[in-house]
Structure 1
Amino acid sequence: MRKAKTYAIIGGTSGMGFGLAQRLVERGDRVLIGGRSSGRLEQAKQQLGPLAIVRTVDMEDRASLATYFAGEDELAGLFTPGATYRTASFRDADTETAESPFRAKFWAQYWAVHTALPHLATDAAIVLMSGAASVRPLGNPAYSACNAAIEGLARALAVELRPIRVNCLSPGTIDSELWRNRDSAFREPVFDGWRALNLTGEVGTVDDAVDAALFLLDNGNMNGSTLYNDGGYTMR
């Protein structure tokens, strides 16, 4: 019988983070869900059941990260999809907007991994989150550069932290709750544009991204890689 494991997911109350938590719980694993909203965390806890533990966490706050991981040992994996940032063109971005992707997405994941290290099993798997703009930018240069930096971070950490495995998930546009909460008059033109830019002619689903994240967590021969779950966007 397979031994149950514990996985940490920061940004696990919605989208691919919550979807991954559901998959892990369904197979009997325990999940430590982190997020900023206590209300959404409690809702996730109710949906996931007794195998889920929820804790508030702010990935931009190292003290908050320390509290989140406190008391956990032998974590089998860490997934870090939670980030909130702003984007703008190079000419138009003010200081706050230009720096927000690195602060909220790059440095937040960097310090999340650093803080998690004493709590990880020796054969743990880490999956960072970037985005396909790393390879094929469409404006927003700070955001594109941030994603490329995260992919470089995954490669460097894979070398330094071995035998812990470190990979990166780089999705394209995903039909997630984030987009569903936006007006269709804004959402649908974006989706149509994405369909024209990739090879499949489709918008990715949350399940697509969850499949990719779970693969990177489970496959012991994946290390230092970036998986572009983008419908072939980076190939056009």
Structure 2
Amino acid sequence: MAGRTAVIIGGTSGIGRAVVDRFAAAGGAVILGGRSQETLDAELARIAGAGGTATGHVVDMAARESIAAFFARVPHLDYLFAPGAAYQVASIHSDDHDAVESPFRSKFWGQYYAVHEAAPKLSPDGAIVLMSGAAGARPVKGASAYAACNSAIEGLGRSLAIDLAPVRVNTVSPGTIDSDLWRRRPARQRSSAFDSYSRATALGRVGTVAEVADAVLFLFGNGYMTGSTLFVDGGYVLP
């Protein structure tokens, strides 16, 4: 990764942040995207303090114009990972249409337009890693649109691997991960969700952000892998 540049949108926390740390430690330069200038500034200072190289710009993954403005400031990149979506999970019975549509609006279309804007600036031997989620392959009750969104992202990855070749495009599909997102939720809710997920997996536990970040770096670097989905889910999607 030394001497290469990665755009990581959503790189100020969770899985994205773990990818940033690994990429910077390997000698790569990072262009961060985040929703808050204050958070971006703090992360850029942290990375610089650790000896890494990073710049960053504010971006809203639910707004096409914001994504376009972000990439207008990016001259060139070798890798793209854009998990920085904000959405809600709602039931088919919900009349909250904004909540129902939010996974597609932010997670699917956000990544789609990030790729659209990045593609002309990507190295021919570069790589894109999309992020879906294990619910796309094994849905949970009450999350139809969310499950469909994750499945759609995996289909998008396979199609882009053909459309953008020789640029490699793969998808990482995490299960439930002990991340900043879950740690901001009430302890009882988190414990119940973790216990339920753990019982549904072969390994009997939730994952870590480090384990997903390792998979992303693998997909960045493997020169003969494209059009695939890599499940980092402890065996959740096994029959």
| TM-score (norm: length of structure 1) | 0.96
Q: Assess if the C-alpha contact under 8 Å between 2:171 and 2:230 holds in 1.
A: yes
Q: Which position in structure 2 is the counterpart of 1:13?
A: 12
Task: Report the Cα distance in structure 2 between the residues aligned to 1:120 and 1:63, rounded to whole angstroms.
Answer: 20
Report the alpha carbon displacement of residue 56 of structure 1 after superposing the two structures with TM.
0.3
Match of 1:166 in 2: 169
Partner of 1:26: 25
Aligned to 1:199: 202
Partner of 1:92: 94
Superposed CA RMSD: 1.2
- Structure 1 unmatched ranges of 5 or more: none
> Are the equivalent residues in 1 in contact too, given 2:14–2:179 (CA < 8 A)?
yes
Contact 2:125 2:166 in 1 (8 A): yes
**Per the alignment, in what secondary structure is the counterpart of residue 208 of structure 1?**
helix
Aligned pair 1:147/2:150, yes or no? Answer: yes
8 Å Cα contact 1:73-1:120 kept in structure 2: no
Task: Report if the CA contact (8 A) 2:62-2:85 is conserved.
Answer: no
For the pair 1:66 / 2:65, whether they are aligned, the reply is: no
CA distance in structure 1 between the partners assigned to 2:180 and 2:225 by the alignment: 29
Contact 1:69 1:119 in 2 (8 A): no
**C-alpha distance in structure 2 between counterparts of 1:93 and 1:219, whole Å:** 44
Farther-moved stretch of structure 1 (57-66 vs 219-228): 57-66
1:55 match: 57
1:105 aligns with 2:104: no
Tell me the matched-pair count: 235
What SS does the aligned partner of 2:128 have?
A: strand
Instruction: Measure how far apart 1:94 and its partner are.
Output: 2.3
Deviation at 1:67, TM superposition (A): 2.2
Please list the CA deviations of residues 143-182 of structure 1 after superposition, one character each: whole Å capped at 9, or x if unmatched: 0000000000000000111000000010000001111122
Distance 1:3 1:211 in 2: 16
For 1:73 and 1:158, the matched residues in 2 are separated by: 22
**TM-superposed deviation, 1:123:** 1.2
Unaligned runs of 5+ in 2: none
Letter aligned with residue 106 of structure 1: F
Cα deviation, 1:118-152, whole Å, max 9, x if unaligned, reads 22111110000100001100121000000000000
Q: Deviations over 1:33-84 (max 9, x none)?
A: 0011111111110111150101101122222222212243331100011111
Runs of 4+ in 1 over 6 A off after TM superposition: none
Give the letter aligned to residue 231 of structure 1.
G
CA apart distance, 1:90: 0.8
